[in-house]
């Protein structure tokens, strides 16, 4: 292990990483979408041109198995499937996800066929759009973090990064579906229910987000404890 640390120091002079990757740090992330490669040269801004030149010189990491250039692969959906997965059973998680999307589509189509003519355009039938909008509605804007000062721990309101917001929204949805349901209801059914409620800004997940916002508003006095 010491030999490893010494050799790794050759390419990362100041930090010896605890969490390392099998790739050299000069490797860049792969870009899978077809549109970014088919853009003609004139439309690119200066930054994008520099990025392109850099990419031409540096080696690039291999694309992971969950990523693909087809229209059906969505990074948010794969992230959500990974979070739903238990003990590495990706097959089950993927099937649950597809059953959820199917259930959403069925429910929306039922509503569509029952609705009168003038309301038919307002009903959204695309399950991907519903999923993305529901997640966006569930994302908190501000979070709380525990800061210990003078022996006491205070809940201090703190801004959240995009990644953290998305993670919290997905985590709340999943825990909500796993815990607060009747013993006999299956996961896809409950998830589709929650997603549709979140899409309309109702439901327990949205309530949890509002509760968090209210707590942050109440603890506004401690905001100056944050030093970052």
In the complex, which residues of this chain contact other proteins (CB under 8 A)?
1, 3-4, 7, 9-11, 13-14, 22-24, 27, 30-32, 34, 37, 50, 53-63, 65-70, 72-73, 90-91, 94
- For residues 3 and 116, which CB has a smaller minimum distance to other proteins in the complex? 3
- For residues 59 and 159, which CB has a smaller minimum distance to other proteins in the complex? 59
State how far the Cα of 77 lies from the Cα of 57, in Å rounded to an integer.
32
CB of residue 26 vs other proteins: minimum separation in angstroms?
8
The number of beta carbons lying within 10 Å of the beta carbon of residue 156 is 20
CB of residue 94 vs other proteins: minimum separation in angstroms?
7
**Helix boundaries (H) for 58-161:** 75-84, 90-114, 127-138
Containing H/E element for 157? strand 152-159
CB of residue 159 vs other proteins: minimum separation in angstroms?
31
- Give the SS3 label for residue 73: coil
Beta-bridge partners for 143 = 158
CB of residue 141 vs other proteins: minimum separation in angstroms?
34
- For residues 79 and 213, which CB has a smaller minimum distance to other proteins in the complex? 79
The number of beta carbons lying within 10 Å of the beta carbon of residue 164 is 14
Rounded to 5 degrees, φ, ψ at 201 are: 60, 40
Assess contact for 176 and 204: CB atoms under 8 A. Answer: yes
CB of residue 9 vs other proteins: minimum separation in angstroms?
7
- For residues 33 and 113, which CB has a smaller minimum distance to other proteins in the complex? 33
- For residues 7 and 113, which CB has a smaller minimum distance to other proteins in the complex? 7
């Amino acid at each position: 292990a010491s030999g490893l640390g010494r050799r790794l120091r050759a390419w990362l002079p100041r930090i010896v990483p605890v969490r390392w990757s099998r790739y050299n740090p000069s490797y860049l992330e792969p870009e899978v979408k077809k549109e970014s490669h088919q853009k003609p040269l004139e439309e690119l801004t200066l930054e994008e041109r520099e990025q392109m030149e850099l990419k031409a010189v540096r080696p690039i990491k291999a694309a992971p198995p969950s990523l693909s250039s087809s229209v059906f692969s969505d990074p948010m959906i794969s992230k959500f499937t990974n979070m739903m997965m238990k003990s590495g059973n990706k097959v089950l998680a993927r099937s649950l996800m597809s059953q959820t999307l199917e259930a959403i589509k069925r429910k929306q189509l039922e509503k569509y066929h029952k609705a009168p003519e003038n309301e038919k355009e307002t009903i959204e039938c695309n399950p991907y759009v519903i999923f993305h909008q529901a997640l966006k509605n569930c994302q908190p804007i501000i979070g709380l973090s525990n800061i210990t000062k003078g022996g006491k721990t205070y809940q201090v309101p703190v801004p959240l990064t995009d990644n953290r917001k998305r993670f919290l929204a997905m985590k709340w949805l999943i825990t909500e579906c796993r815990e607060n349901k009747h013993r006999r209801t299956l996961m896809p059914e409950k998830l589709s229910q929650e997603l549709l409620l979140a899409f309309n800004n109702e439901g327990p997940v949205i309530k949890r987000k509002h509760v968090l916002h209210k707590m942050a508003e109440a603890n506004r006095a401690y905001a100056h404890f944050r030093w970052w």
